Structure 1
Amino acid sequence: LNSTDARVQQMFSILLDDATKDSDREKAAQNLVVLSRDEGGAEQIFRNDGVKLIQKLLQSKQEEVVLSALRTLVGLCTEHQSRTMAIVNELGMDQLCAVMGSGASTVSLAACHLLQVMFEALTEGMKREIRGKEEAILPEPSKELRSMLRHLLEMMPASNVSGPGRDSAINLLVKQVPRKSFKNPDNSLTLWVIDQGLKKILQVAGSIPELSDGPPLTDNTHMSCSVLLSKLYDDLKSDKERENFHKICEEYIHDVGNRTLEMSGMMDAVISLCASKDVTHQQIAVEALIHAAGKAKRASFITANGVALLKDLYKTSENDRIRVRALVGLCKLGSAGGTDFSMKQFAEGSTGKLAKQCRKWLCNESLPPTSRRWSVEGLAYLTFDADVKEDLVEDKNALMAMFVLAKSEDKTVLFAVGSTLVNCTNSYDVEKPDPQMVELAKYAKQHVPEEHPKDAPSYVEKRLVKLLDAGVVSALACMVKQESPALTEACKECIARVFLALVERQEDRGTVVAQGGGKALIPLATDNTDVGKVKAAQALAKIAITSNPEIAFPGERIYEVVRPLVSLLNLNCTLLQNFEALMALTNLAGISERLRQKIIKEKAVPKIEGYMFEEHDLVRAAATECMCNLVLSTEVQKLYLAIGNDRLKLLVLYSGEDDERLRKAAAGTLAMLTSEQPELCKRIPETTTHWLEIMQALLLCEISDLRHRGVVIVQNMIQADRDLTEKFMESEALEILTVLAKGGEGTSDPVSKIAKNCLDKAVEYGLIRSREGKEGTEP
């Protein structure tokens, strides 16, 4: 037996012995987890009937032993389809779902993680090359995969499943069922789940714990169901599929959502229900009004017919749950004009009073978290008003309370916090209207939106500083870490927008990095909406430009930054985003060969070369600077060695341009290339008839950096070829080099030393003679 086999056998014997102490059993189970993470150990556990032993451990009353058993299974299943199929068949989904549905949250989460690993092992195993049509449909999922999905769907309405267990099942369906990319034509899993389980999902989504003896729910369950339903609907490809979705919904709920609210007399009925003496009826009616107020048409109806009722409920109700919901209803109606200063729904000062009450409830720790969450919802609407933004950032206690709530287990608050912060930082997109169109609209007596004076950049900057002081970065970082369906792509986009606003000022970037902002931005740049990815990538670029990337993104994290930065080298991005990405990549390319290889692997070189032709001076110079660092890599040098392209010609011509930054970058690249690949020196005269003038201009330049680059290029060319040296010695370059060599005598000036080396080489070639210290006379 080798050492791994022996250790596996030893752990088995300890775990199978009924006389083993509890502490020893826990240690042995933990050792099994470590062994399972090694392929040799995992195979040994599996071959020695370890699954039956693990099945026995799952029934243990020791929570730590059950956790270790689940983590061992994770090791066995990770990226191994055949073992996963065998384990699913041997253990049975009933047992795994029962463990996930148990009351212990840590055990439930561990079981959820195991099932996720199993899903990934099974689905990845089915991805194989198919000959023929490009749009070929992937094979149907295996029966094990369908068995897992069926059991998860059966957990939905089951009363013996705990709230956290049900949330885990919904979370798994969100992650595993919809397609990861719409480029994949196969949405058969989604269609199967809709046919087999949509009604079960709707049953949970429509359960009201206060009104029925339904399944146990958590505060996050309704939000998770909403995300799952949305994801399933978005994954549908045709009108026929969407119609089937609606049909199943309408069979379960006769008329659903907005259709119901727009039916004749329905809004009147909802408003009437708000006056009910039954608290639960009131609560549901007020929540329906809040959701209904999302559309302008219905918001105007509620403003006309329901504001007095909501105000009355807010002022007179003795139940805080009703009061806070009535307040949010008023907040939503009060924000119907958005950021338009001229579109005020309520009297002057009313929104300020509503916001003050929201902040008061937010800071009241005696209120249940759900009520405090509603107060954040209210602020998310009211912070369209710049006066409310100013008041909120001045109230440090309210900010701290909001951040604590964002870090809490109540995941449903994430989008409200994100929206509030987007409003406070003005990081939403604002389209500036054409001045001529504005004048035309005024002339036609059409409404023209007005900006609030406190939305001016100076006010926004002060708000950002106050948010940073209050600890906004650590709150955002915690929000990103949440493994919950509530962290939707829209929510991630909000967080990315806020981060971009926070790193706008150069002096704030160190604070953002120190509080974990750099780490949080990487997943936001890879898993987000298209807009969110760009915002997060731009924030990463800004950090990488002004901070040391090795400190901002320590360890392996620095390599994860490359792909988001390369994604900004896109024609759909703005020139500023292109420029910042090029600057950041320049810094990364200068760090190590491994980073340069990563940049090359991400196919950035052709994009960077494209930007070297950009008309905008700064972008063109930044691209050339990036290339200057990339040519340290042999792979890029080979591109310049290849025959039949104008890469070298471009660098020579750019070395003679008026733009100082571009000249420095091009001459630096030439200096590097001619040092590493002497063969290129002989090709320089072939690029342009003006090559000698360009070299002489560099040697004569008043800017020391350019002069240094010029003399290095000339030295490399002289050392590479005698004929080239002769051309230099027959031109004004001899006199220039002589002056440069004399100019630094007795000093450590590098230009002077290199110029002297050039002349010494010419003497060695026998092209010039040295005369009593006079280096520069022709023969």
Structure 2
Amino acid sequence: MADVENGDNLQQSLAVELIVLSVSKYERATALIKQGLPVLKKLYRSEDQNVRVRALVGLCKCAASAGDDCSRQPMDDESRTKLAMACRKYLVVENANKYSERVSLVDVRRFACEGLSYLSLDAEIKEQIVCDTELLKSLVELAKNAGALCVYTMAAIFMNCANAYEKPKIDEEMIKLAQFSKHHVPETHPKDADSFVEKRIRQMVKAGAVTACVLVSKTESKSALDNLARCICAFSAFEDLSGQIISEGGAKLLLQLYKECTADGKIKAAHAIARLGAHNDPNIVFAGQRMYEVVKPLVDLLHPDVEGRANYDSLLTLTNLASISDSVRKRILHERALPKIEEYWFDPAHEELRAAAAELLLNLLFCEDYYKEVIKPGTDRAKVWALYCDEGDTE
């Protein structure tokens, strides 16, 4: 309070920063709203724009402290909408004459982006963001001007709108037990249903979200890079969007993310690579040397701890790659993919994975080294192929 009453803009900015950092959990935010909300409101009325926008970030963080749990929001819908509109006022460029002024205020705009990233956990705000074409364009423009300065907040907005963040697995028995013992059970907003999420993803990609992700990717922050990987992975789930993702540099970005992300981020990046290559010409998706670079991420997806859908997409993409040239086939074998592929081929419990693995092995047979290994006397690989062909179509 002493810093706030001081009147010094620097001291006030520091006071707001401390308040924002202290809001980390719902319980803390609830206490802060009771005690610190008047302080933030007073600072929001400051004549200094830097103090005002920092106070806005604090208000947004308090409003979003319950995450995506719509049953216990600390502020009502109207208050959160007003905060989102305040963030929009700083972000959206109304006309070309003001744009040159906004470029010089990158710091102010990136703080507004941070405030919006907190609010984007709310499903109603997600819908407002993706339906506002001017706002989406302004986010892309901010990515061009600010670059890595806004990487985490920019990625958070796209990730939240696409519902690409990690969600805890729900155990129905635990929910019933929690309800019986009168513990709080988080509720999902109706606008976070799959149909709404798909619509939001399509609108973001159309507005240039992939371009924005590419522009802000020059960073050393592992968590920010992981969020970018989650975004592109969510975008690539829809086959008809793959063309735009590829044309805007998505495939190149995913290779970079695979090299620089944490273990979880690597899986997301590799899965996105597999999705892009599963139904598109590898010569277009992975042009030139990139065709050899994607082999390792795809082979790493062939692991029992990785979900089945990612395994399947990886097998399909490797099959497409193996049809290109002998050098690519040799690269697949060099990455020690053969034992992993055969493991899926020998597994009768998952017919689709087994069929995909068989098709990949068939393409690899065009590699002379592997062909000789299969027909070499003393091995049973040729017999296994004969038995597999004799099984026929179970359908």
So what's the TM-score if we normalise by structure 1? 0.48
Which residue does the alignment assign to 1:418? 155
Supply the distance in 1 between the matched residues of 2:169 and 2:193 (Cα, whole angstroms): 14
Equivalent position of 1:548 in the other structure: 281
Give, in angstroms, the shift of residue 279 of structure 1: 1.4
The residue type equivalent to 2:284 in the other structure is I
Question: 1:531 Cα deviation (Å)?
Answer: 1.0
Residue pairs, 1:720-739, within 5 angstroms: none
| Counterpart residue identity of residue 300, structure 1 | T
Counterpart AA for 1:273: D
Alignment of 1:139-178 (within 5 A): none
In the alignment, is residue 393 of structure 1 matched against residue 127 of structure 2?
Answer: no
Partner residue of 1:572? 305
Whether the 8 Å CA contact 2:64–2:118 is kept in 1: the answer is yes
Is 1:593 the counterpart of 2:322 in the alignment? Answer: no
Please tell me whether the aligned partners of residues 121 and 160 of structure 2 are also in contact (alpha carbons under 8 angstroms). yes
8 Å contact from structure 1 (residues 362, 372) kept in 2: yes
- Partner residue in 2 for 1:350: 79
In structure 2, C-alpha distance between the alignment counterparts of 1:334 and 1:658, rounded to whole Å: 60
Cα deviation 1:498-539 (Å, max 9, x = unaligned) = 111111111111111122211221111222111111111111
The equivalent of 1:612 in structure 2 is 345
Show the counterpart of 1:336.
65
The AA in structure 1 aligned to 2:76 is A
For the residue of structure 2 that corresponds to 1:426, the secondary structure is: coil
**Using the alignment, how far apart are the partners of 1:509 and 1:280 within structure 2?**
47
Counterpart residue type for residue 165 of structure 2? Y
Does the 8 Å contact 1:411/1:487 carry over to 2?
no
- Tell me the equivalent position of 1:403: 140
In the alignment, is the contact (CA less than 8 A) between 1:477 and 1:516 conserved in 2? yes
Partner residue, 2:23: 293
After the TM superposition, which residues 96-111 of structure 1 pair with which residues of structure 2 at under 5 Å, given as runs?
none
How far, CA to CA, are the matches of 2:179 and 2:303 in structure 1? Answer: 38
What percentage of aligned pairs have identical amino acids? 38
The aligned residue for residue 195 of structure 2 is 458
Query: What CA distance in whole angstroms lies between the structure 1 residues aligned with 2:160 and 2:225?
Result: 15
Q: Which residue is 1:359 aligned to? A: 88
Q: Which residue of 1 aligns with 2:385?
A: 651
* Alpha-carbon distance in 1 for matches of 2:377, 2:3: 81
**Does the Cα contact within 8 Å between 1:415 and 1:491 map onto a contact in 2?**
yes
Shift of 1:379: 0.8
Match of residue 256 from structure 2: 523
The one-letter code matched in structure 1 to 2:274 is: A
Aligned length: 386
Cα distance between partner residues in 1 of 2:79 and 2:233: 32
Q: Using the alignment, how far apart are the partners of 2:180 and 2:110 within structure 1?
A: 45
Alignment of 1:744-759 (within 5 A): none
- Measured against aligned partners, the alpha-carbon deviations of 1:157-188 in whole angstroms (never above 9, x if no partner) come to xxxxxxxxxxxxxxxxxxxxxxxxxxxxxxxx
Are residue 307 (structure 1) and residue 37 (structure 2) matched? yes
Q: CA RMSD in A?
A: 1.6
Is the contact made by 1:390 and 1:463 (CA closer than 8 Å) also made in structure 2? yes
Match of 1:376 among 113, 116, 138: 113
Whether the 8 Å contact between 1:369 and 1:410 is mirrored in structure 2 is no
Q: Is the 8 A contact 1:583 1:622 kept in 2?
A: yes
Change (3 A) 1:493 1:394: same
From 241, 259, 266, the counterpart of 1:533: 266
Which whole-Å deviations, capped at 9, do the CAs of 1:319-375 have from their partners, x for residues lacking one?
Answer: 211111111101001111111111201123211110111011112544511111100
1:196-231 deviation line (CA, Å, top 9, x unaligned): xxxxxxxxxxxxxxxxxxxxxxxxxxxxxxxxxxxx
User: Quick check: 1:414–1:487 contact (8 Å CA) kept in 2?
Assistant: no
The one-letter code matched in structure 2 to 1:473 is V
Which secondary structure state, in structure 2, belongs to the residue aligned with residue 392 of structure 1?
helix
| Structure 1 unmatched ranges of 5 or more | 1-270, 662-779
Q: Residue 630 of structure 1 corresponds to which residue in structure 2?
A: 364
Map residues 48-447 of structure 1 onto 2, 5 A cutoff. Answer: 271-296=1-26, 298-314=28-44, 316-364=45-93, 365=99, 366-367=101-102, 368-409=105-146, 411-447=148-184
Give the match for residue 241 of structure 2.
Answer: 508
| CA shift digits 1:639-669 (9 cap, x unpaired) | 21334443222222221224369xxxxxxxx
Distance across 2 between alignment mates of 1:425 and 1:401: 18
Contact 2:178–2:185 (CA under 8 A) maintained in structure 1: yes
> Which residue of the other structure, out of 475, 489, 501, is the alignment partner of 2:212?
475
* Contact in 2 for aligned 1:526/1:564 (Cα 8 Å): no
Equivalent AA in structure 1 for residue 303 of structure 2: N
Letter in 1 for 2:212: A
For 1:446, what is the secondary structure of its paired residue? Answer: coil
Preserved contact between residue 210 and residue 248 of structure 2 (Cα < 8 Å): yes
Q: How far did residue 293 of structure 1 move?
A: 1.2
Matched position secondary structure for 1:349 = helix
Return the alpha-carbon distance in structure 1 between the equivalents of residues 291 and 72 of structure 2: 47
Structure whose CA Rg is larger: 1
Q: CA deviation at 1:543?
A: 0.9
Alignment check: 8 A CA contact 2:70 2:186 kept: yes
Compare 350-359 and 398-407 and name the one that shifted more.
398-407
Conserved 8 A contact 1:541-1:565: yes
CA contact (8 A) 1:415 1:487 kept: no
Q: Distance in 2 between matches of 1:310 and 1:659?
A: 68
State the distance in 2 between where 1:411 and 1:516 align. 17
Structure 1's 658 and 441: CA in aligned 2 closer, same or farther, altered over 3 A? farther
d(CA) in 2 for partners of 1:410, 1:627: 43
- Distance in 1 of aligned mates of 2:41 and 2:390: 73
1-structure distance, mates of 2:276, 2:344 = 22
Of the two structures, which has the highest relative contact order with CA contacts closer than 8 Å and spacing of 6 or more? 2
Tell me, in whole angstroms, the C-alpha distance in 2 between the residues paired with 1:424 and 1:296.
21
The amino acid of 1:280's aligned partner reads L
Aligned to 2:96: none
Tell me how far apart the structure 2 counterparts of residues 579 and 509 of structure 1 sit (CA, whole Å).
Answer: 18
